[in-house]
Structure 1
Amino acid sequence: MTIQALTAPEATPDATKPLRKNRDFTLLWSGQTVSQLGTSVSVLAFPLLVLSLNGSAVQAGALGTLQAVIRVAFQLPAGALADRWNRKRVMQVCDAGRAVLFAGLATAILLGRAPLAVIFAVAGAAAVLDVLFGAAETSIVSQLVPRSQLPEAFAKNEARAYGASLAGPPLGGFLYALGRSVPFLFDALSYLLSLLAVSFIRRPAHPTEEETGKTSLRHDMLEGLRHVVASPFLRAVILMAAPVNFALTGAQFSAVLILTDAGHSPRALGIAQGCIAVGGLLGALFAARVQRLLPFHRLLVVALAVLPALLTASTVLNGSLAMVAPLATGLFLAPAVNSILFGRIAATTPARLQGRVISVVALSATAAASLAPIVVGTVVEHNGGTAAMTTVLAAACLSLVAALLNRRTLRDNQDVR
């Protein structure tokens, strides 16, 4: 399929209007709110579906691993393709493709023709489209939103993600109880609504310095990597992002394993996980206020300095449900930091490189987070929960060291505020 790039000149977003009156961003954000809710519903429904078809827990886990591997492996190519093609068209194609995939899966379930091979194929194809859509969507934000409002825009995206992760699993369980096909029909509908919202975006969806496909995909990916390597700020971001994402993901996974071993019920575990997600959601809602309290480089150092203390407190509370309270507190500051980081990257990266640069940064964080469950799971099994929490604590300390060593670079790269 060939996706043609737009050649119309790109208008500058109006910085005098508040973000809530930005029509194009509101359309994008609203469509993705529904879409991410649908995705969160499917995250729960997929393993339940595998288990209901006499699949084993290993097969259910393999499905999640397949999706994670695809998301990591396709991250860089997706960024290059998002820079090469019309980003609005990319999002439309991805939404349409995912709607067809999940509607087809729901139909197959209703007809009793959904073997494991079909489920794995749908999950894998959807993961590819998820990554490609994400690269295009993140890249297009800087074309829809004025530079001064980018941190606020990314904070709203953080709130959207945390809200979906909080509401999705309970809704998924309710819909699955109505019928095995219902969650996937809901997800298909969510993609259709997202497609409708994206289609009404008016602003040109491709940079004026557009890629036309004259270079190879490999060349484009290497160009993005070279840009990141040449930027002291982006290098510092990656050095901080990888270990802190490992620490946050590992701590949450460790908490589940530790609390399970301590004999807490599945209901209690669900409440504990919900409390952690609420911490992130509240942080996203208050991100703008938090950002006004401190300059970015100080906010970042404070957040990364507080995290080891919170992880230490969680380790001391090992086995008690109270151990999730410090983790929820740690997630409170994450959205404020993330929104400024991505706002800064979007504001300073050339339009034609947005997808590639953001994909490189996302890959570093995603890859580290993907390794966390297997690493801490192994540590818990052989050395216990305290050792696992100590492992993630060490990763958090590495991130703090990286921030301190690069504080001058961070101080010189905060004008997005």
Structure 2
Amino acid sequence: MAADLVTAPASEEAAPLRRNRDFTLLWGGQTVSQVGSAVSVLAFPLLVLSLHGSAVQAGALGTLQAVVRVVCQLPAGAFADRWNRKRVMQVCDACRVTLFLALGTAVLLGRAPLAAVFAVAGAAAVADVLFTAAETSIVSQLVHRSQLPEAFAKNEARSYGASLAGPPLGGFLYALGRSVPFLFDALSYLCSFLAVSFIRRPADPQQEESAPTSLRHDMAEGVRHVVGSPFLRAVILMAAPVNFALSGVQFSAVLVLTDAGHSPRTVGLAQGCIAVGGLLGALVAARVQRLLPFHRLLVAAVAVLLALVTASTLLAGRTYMVAPVALGLFLAPAVNSALFGKIASVTAARIQGRVISVVALSATAAASTAPVIVGLVVEHGGGRAAMATTIAATALSLLAAVASRRTLRTA
């Protein structure tokens, strides 16, 4: 199956990624784009609150985007396998430039009704999912197979860096004017469009000669491929609960610290410390991956995470309860990039978009339920009970990893 991959030519096999022109263009463009997206994540609820003053409407906007991303995940993977991935990314960027330029202009002119804000947010979420499916799938066509874990590790560092830099920048830009963050985001997507346009390597998935198929057939094929693969089944069984745990423990920490009487400023600083742990881990993820074979890295990382989440639970209510969480998030980028690197290396290019979308949907769907479940547990059982829920999820992931270690080792 891996033989079907389209990778960098042999002459580039030993070259470092920083000398891979196409990957560097993609990575640089997405760095700017993701900072712009992080700016908008903050600006959207602020805009709704300033225009309409409703926290419920601001929350509904975030819910809309989350639902759109879940619903569009599988179709996006199918489209990424049907079409030229470079062209998909260009179209998505062009759409997002248009959307945010229009919204920024409307806000500047004082003509931004709530319906228009929701429409732009929803449409942008669709473009985000489709772009991400194509961008994740195209990595294996731009770098050599042996460099896939390193490439995904760099993408992890990019994401964590943007999530840290975006909100403060968004607050600063919003203070300059309510339209400025959206115009900035439009500019960031323009930069991404230009970077993608200069990629030279072909980005067409390898398709077998066959009769045209429906979108439903293509999505079903992706699901069947994942269900029929022992390795991918093992990945989902391990990744879903651990993503729930990582999301849940961060949300639990916020609720526990707030309930303990800590100020919003202190809680914010604690969240920042957790995020820094992820960023630092992303910066050294490639080195961490080289310390242990793939299957041992996964088992060791989840086992360490279980110990750290347990330690954080014992410290519940104290500000330094976030220290073990930050250490746990430090290991997450190495695990994520190793997983996606392995998936990309063993999956044929023609179906890679669908496979990655199925795996991503499983992981993100589990993580998205964490705040709701944790919130309910906190309300009825308290903060320690919520933390115990994340411990159970991490233990479930560890059991799945241990039980599947032979499958993970031979993949």
| TM-score category of the 2 structures, normalised to the smaller one | over 0.9
User: Are the aligned partners of 1:84 and 1:212 in contact in 2 as well (CA < 8 Å)?
Assistant: no
Task: Tell me the CA shift for residue 324 of structure 1.
Answer: 0.8
Structure 1 pair 238–266 and aligned structure 2 pair: CA distance change class (3 A): same
SS in structure 2 of the partner of residue 215 of structure 1: coil
Tell me the secondary structure at the aligned position of residue 81 of structure 1.
helix
How many percent identity over aligned positions?
80
Shift of 1:213: 8.2
**Which structure 2 residues correspond to residues 187-202 of structure 1 after superposition, within 5 A?**
187-202=185-200
Partner residue, 2:130: 132
- Paired residues in the alignment total 405
Q: Aligned match of 1:48 in 28, 31, 46?
A: 46
Q: Which residue, out of 269, 272, 276, partners 2:270? A: 272
Could you tell me which residue of structure 1 aligns to residue 232 of structure 2?
234
Please provide the CA RMSD for this pair. 1.4
Whether the 8 Å contact between 1:72 and 1:367 is mirrored in structure 2 is yes
Partner of residue 12, structure 1? 9
What displacement does 1:12 show? 3.1
Q: Paired residue for 2:85, among 87, 97, 101?
A: 87
For residue 173 of structure 2, the aligned residue among 175, 194, 214 is 175
1:71 aligned residue:
69
Partner residue in 1 for 2:305: 307
One-letter amino acid of the counterpart of residue 241, structure 2 = P
Q: Partner of 2:52: helix, strand, or coil?
A: coil
After alignment, is 52-61 or 230-239 more displaced?
Answer: 52-61
Cα distance, 1:211 vs. partner? 8.2
Asked if 2 retains the 8 angstrom alpha-carbon contact of 1:228 and 1:235, the reply is: yes
Counterpart selection for 1:322 from 317, 320, 335: 320
Q: Give the corresponding residue for 1:160.
A: 158
User: What amino acid sits opposite 1:263 in the alignment?
Assistant: G
Please say if residues 10 and 203 of structure 1, whose CA atoms lie closer than 8 Å, have aligned partners that are also in contact.
Answer: no
Shift in alpha-carbon separation, 1:147–1:10, aligned structure 2, 3 A: closer
Distance between the aligned counterparts of 1:268 and 1:139, measured in 2?
A: 40
> Matches of 2:263 and 2:43 in 1, distance apart?
21
Give the letter aligned to residue 12 of structure 1: P
Return the offset for 1:16.
Answer: 2.3
Distance 2:80 2:53 in 1: 36
TM-score (norm 2): 0.96
Instruction: Report the residue type matching 2:98 in the other structure.
Output: V
> 2:90 corresponds to which letter in structure 1?
Q
SS at 1:185's partner residue?
A: helix
Give me the whole-angstrom Cα distance separating, in 2, the residues matched to 1:383 and 1:207.
Answer: 50
Q: For residue 18 of structure 1, report the CA deviation from its aligned partner.
A: 1.0
Structure 1 residues 234 and 73: alpha-carbon distance in aligned structure 2, compared to 1, 3 A threshold: same
Deviations 1:251-280 (A, max 9, x none): 111111111222222222221111111111
Equivalence for 1:143: 141
Distance 2:169 2:339 in 1: 32
Cα pair 2:8 2:144 within 8 Å, conserved: no
- What residue is the counterpart of 1:109 in the other structure? 107
Letter of the aligned partner of 1:72 in structure 2?
Answer: V
TM-score scaled by length of structure 1: 0.95
Alignment gaps of 5+ in structure 2:
1-5
**Could you say which residue in structure 2 is the equivalent of 1:296?**
294
Q: Return 5+ residue gaps in structure 1 as ranges.
A: 1-8
Report the residue type matching 1:240 in the other structure.
M
Task: Indicate whether 1:214 and 2:212 are aligned.
Answer: yes
Cα distance in 2 between the residues matched to 1:107 and 1:316:
51
| Native 8 Å contact 1:84 1:213 kept in 2 | no
Letter matched to residue 66 of structure 2: A
Residues 104-140 of structure 1, C-alpha deviations (whole Å, 9 max, x = no match)? 1111101111111111111000000000000000000
**CA shift for structure 1 position 210:** 6.0
SS in 2 for 1:205: coil
Letter of the 2:379 partner, please give it: E
Corresponding residue for 1:3? none
